[in-house]
Amino acid sequence: MSDTVKKYDIIVIGAGVVGGLIARSLSFYDADICLVDKHMDSAMGASGANSGIVHGGYDAKPGSLKARFNILGTSMMEETCKMLGVPYKNTGSLVIAFGSDDEKELDRLYENGIAGGIEGLELIDGEEARKLEPALNPTVTKALWSKTAGVVSPYKLNISAVENAVVNGVDFLRETMVTGITREENGFLVTTDKGPLTARVVINCAGIYADEISAMAGDGFFNLTPRKGEYLLMDRSEGGLVSRVIFQPPSEKGKGVLVMTTVDGNLLIGPDANIAESKEDNSTHASSLEYVYQTALKTCSKIRLDKVITSFAGLRATPDTGDFIIGESSKVPGFYNVAGIESPGLSSAPAIAEHVADEVGKMLGGLELKEKYTKTIDSHEFFRDMTIEEKENAIRENPGHGRIVCRCENVTEAEVIESIRRPAGARTVDGVKRRTRAGMGRCQGGFCLPTVIDILSRELDVDKEEILKGDGGSYILAGRNR
């Protein structure tokens, strides 16, 4: 632990998609900014384990922060993804009904959406719904069609936002745990397990731990409940079963079990919604996954359990306030909360980031744009998506493209190396996985894992035994040093 105090204008705590996009928006301005996260990488919390839906916004209460930022964020998402080289698809979504009670709920959602100014909403009957989605069960009687909804890769959006921020000069301090926040005359002293930091403004984007960070700063006015959602992910061979995001009517627990094709082409079903045992509980359970599967069959009976390649769980930070918590603390001047960002948090993230950057700039007396900054990152086409001629040219330019590391996803050695060498690059097996899809295919890393470990070891200049799967302590190999 260092005793040297690092001084910043702004410290952002939490490198999830909201914290990452806020850091990016602030990085366009002439200010010293630090992004702090306790994890080994960005996208290690809720941003790395959700459905990736860009919601239409019809279900949020008109006038709420959820409604406001969902509408704005969804309208911004396509352009944001384009700038950051992140795949996005405007698929639209359907909420389906199975009878008169469900139809009344769809009517309510439609009226709610219209009252909130949502465009592209239409109520259609079951026959029309099956024309759009032939795999829907014949028992579907009605559907709410939202034409503005879409899908995105949540972790790629998160990672690219952080990379863009780093390119613009933001310090990304990973594996850095905030242990204390003290208000001082000219700002804050933020203590961490890696040494002290100071800042004029602190922005709390700590996800499920945002209530604890706020209390640490002296304003514990809200509490967050970890609500867990479990998912089943199918092989890409099943991805054509549906082309839109298909919801069943929502309940008091959330939007319910959905059926969708991810932006990468996998069929995804889930989540359920249960209170987690702890804020670190990302376990999956056979009974919960069976519930997800059986519920999804009501939407589409053709879903095949034998095509499941993995299951996972994500935690949502459900606030006791009933809405997003966005704004400067009334008790601690200069401390800014961005908390309780559950669904539709991903959809809202671009708009939240722009809003927070503007407000924090005003808190600091105005920020000037830098003479030189970028809103884009140096993206590239993946080898698997190239034509034969393009692949031949890529191999001539870099022979590493001639060595396939991941056969399921056609990821090359050159791509794995680049994912590590990029700004805010991969440091773990899962970090490589999220950036390249190596290990995301049918065998889930069964063949490529040893090679990925070899490359990480060589690029990071550490022993193979030191390479982690995901976060601190997740060692894969045991050797003489352990």
First-last CA distance in the chain: 23
Q: Where are the beta strands (DSSP E) in 237-307?
A: 245-247, 258-261, 267-270, 274-275
406 within 8 A of 397, measured Cβ to Cβ: no
* Cα–Cα distance measured from residue 403 to residue 157, given in angstroms and rounded to the nearest whole number: 27
Is-contact 440 409, C-beta < 8 A? yes
Is the Cα dihedral 385, 386, 392, 398 positive or negative? negative
Encoded amino acid at 76, one letter:
M
What residues contact residue 190 under an 8 Å CB cut-off, 6+ apart? 11, 13, 36, 178, 180, 181, 182, 196, 197, 198, 199, 202
Q: At what angle do helices 429-436 and 154-167 cross, to 10 degrees?
A: 100
Q: Give the gyration radius of the chain's Cα atoms.
A: 22
Compute the distance between CA of residue 368 and CA of residue 376 in angstroms, rounded to an integer. 19
* Distance from C-alpha of 410 to C-alpha of 401, rounded to nearest angstrom: 10
Contacts of 274 (CB under 8 A, 6+ apart): 227, 228, 288
Task: Report how far residue 75's alpha carbon sits from residue 9's, in angstroms, rounded to the nearest whole number.
Answer: 30
Tokens in use for 47?
């941003």
- Is 285 tagged catalytic? no
Is omega for the bond preceding 350 within 30 degrees of 0, making it cis?
no
Q: Which of 55, 355, 380, 401 is catalytic?
A: 55
Question: Do 302 and 134 contact (CB within 8 A), yes or no?
Answer: no
Q: Three-state SS for 414?
A: helix
Q: Give the residue numbers marked as catalytic.
A: 55
